[in-house]
Amino acid sequence: MEFFTDLILLLDSTLRTATPLVLAGLAGLIAERSGIVDIGLEGKMLAAAFAAAAAAAVTGSPWAGLGAGIGASVALALLHGWVSIAQRGNQIVSGMAINIAVAGLAPTLANFWFRKGGQTPLLDDEARFSAITLPFADALADVPLLGGLYSELLSGHNLITYLTAAIVPLVAWMLYKTRFGLRLRAVGENPEAVDTAGISVTLLRYQAMIITGVLCGFAGTVLSTGLGGGFIRDMSAGKGYLALAAMIFGRWKPVPTLLACLLFGFVDALQGRLQGVDLPLIGEIPVQFTIMLPYVLTVVILAGFAGRMQAPKASGIPYEKDH
């Protein structure tokens, strides 16, 4: 029974940890499917986290925060788009530049506006996307097994986590079942063909960058106003890069990307749980080792189990009309 309770706690933590990863992973997926490599996910998330926390602190509304977060992220996505599409610049350099610029700019602005050493004020509960208790969760809590599953695991997450559960099928549907999705996939594989068919490569790629920006905006907003209660410098803590790894592990497909993010989230929760615990036979595992686990797993998975990776063919290559 204790094992079951532990498992539910781990899975519960997995859902929370995976939320920003899934959103950022899908953002990267849309960008790469359209032919633009975006390692600036981290920077966009951080910018969104800062903008959301700042707006929510000033207005007291998480919705204003979400709006500001998405706004900031889309602006950066369009900047990356402009460099990659119009200027045919190096996409890795542009993405990296965004990451570095935001890492410095966000705490500087926070210090300028709030005078708290690069942090925003801690948000009140009304200014955050607080935990939502699903109907009957309290009443069902005592029902064996199912009660725990429902009231602990499924209930008590923030709005954006629930939204994410809807966004994954939505992105999958858009990518595989709509005309826009078909064109998006085509432009990442063979932009010449799309161009020949009379469809604008430039417009499609800008549209993809806007979607990427919106998704990263959600990811950043959930960090500072859902899971946390304010902005702290570098709070994205490498999640943008981890999302990129999850996307590659998920072979640029929405559902496998979701599963990869859940796996990363689970291992992260597990490593926290294993710290300082006496395991039978092995004894206590040193902290340094448990903290290593998620990264070791990433390397093992990418090297061993993922098989041949097939990135979209035109990914990272600027499109030039006159070859």
Partner 1 sequence: MKKLFGRFGAIVGLAFAGFAAVGAADFKPVLLYDIGGKFDKSFNEAAYVGAHRFEEETGNGFKDFEPNSETQYEQALKRFARRKADLIVAVGVGYSVAVRNVAADFPNVKFTVIDAIIDLPNVQSITFKENEGSFLVGMIAAMKTESRTIGFLGGMDIPLIRRFERGYRQGAEYVRGDLTFIENYVGTTPSAWNDPIKAAEMARSQYARGADIIFSAAGPSGLGSIQAAKDTGNLAIGVDSNQNHVAPGVVLTSMLKRVDLAVYKAMKAAQDGHWSAGHNVMGLAEGGVDFALDEHNAALITAEMKAKLDDARAKIVAGEIVVGDVEGSNVGH
Interacting residue ranges for partner 1, rule: CB under 8 A: 9, 13, 16-17, 20, 104, 107, 111, 115-119, 122, 125, 130-131, 223, 227-230, 232-235, 237-238, 268-269, 272-273, 275-276, 287-288, 291
Nearer to partner 1, 11 or 165 (CB): 11
Nearer to partner 1, 172 or 270 (CB): 270
The C-alpha atoms of residue 53 and residue 231 are separated, in whole angstroms, by 6
- Shortest Cβ 303–partner 1 spacing (Å): 23
Nearer to partner 1, 152 or 189 (CB): 152
The C-alpha atoms of residue 128 and residue 86 are separated, in whole angstroms, by 38
- Shortest Cβ 116–partner 1 spacing (Å): 6
Q: Which of 117, 152, 119, 122 is nearest to 138 (CA)?
A: 152
Which are the contacts of 64, defined by CB distance < 8 A and separation ≥ 6? 55, 56, 58
Nearer to partner 1, 192 or 234 (CB): 234
Q: Which of 83, 40, 99 is nearest to 318 (CA)?
A: 83
Question: What are the two backbone dihedrals, phi and then psi, of residue 157, each rounded to the nearest 5 degrees?
Answer: -105, 170
Nearer to partner 1, 237 or 302 (CB): 237
- Shortest Cβ 266–partner 1 spacing (Å): 12
Q: Which of 76, 84, 81, 125 is nearest to 105 (CA)?
A: 76
- Shortest Cβ 165–partner 1 spacing (Å): 19
The C-alpha atoms of residue 259 and residue 261 are separated, in whole angstroms, by 5
- Shortest Cβ 143–partner 1 spacing (Å): 19
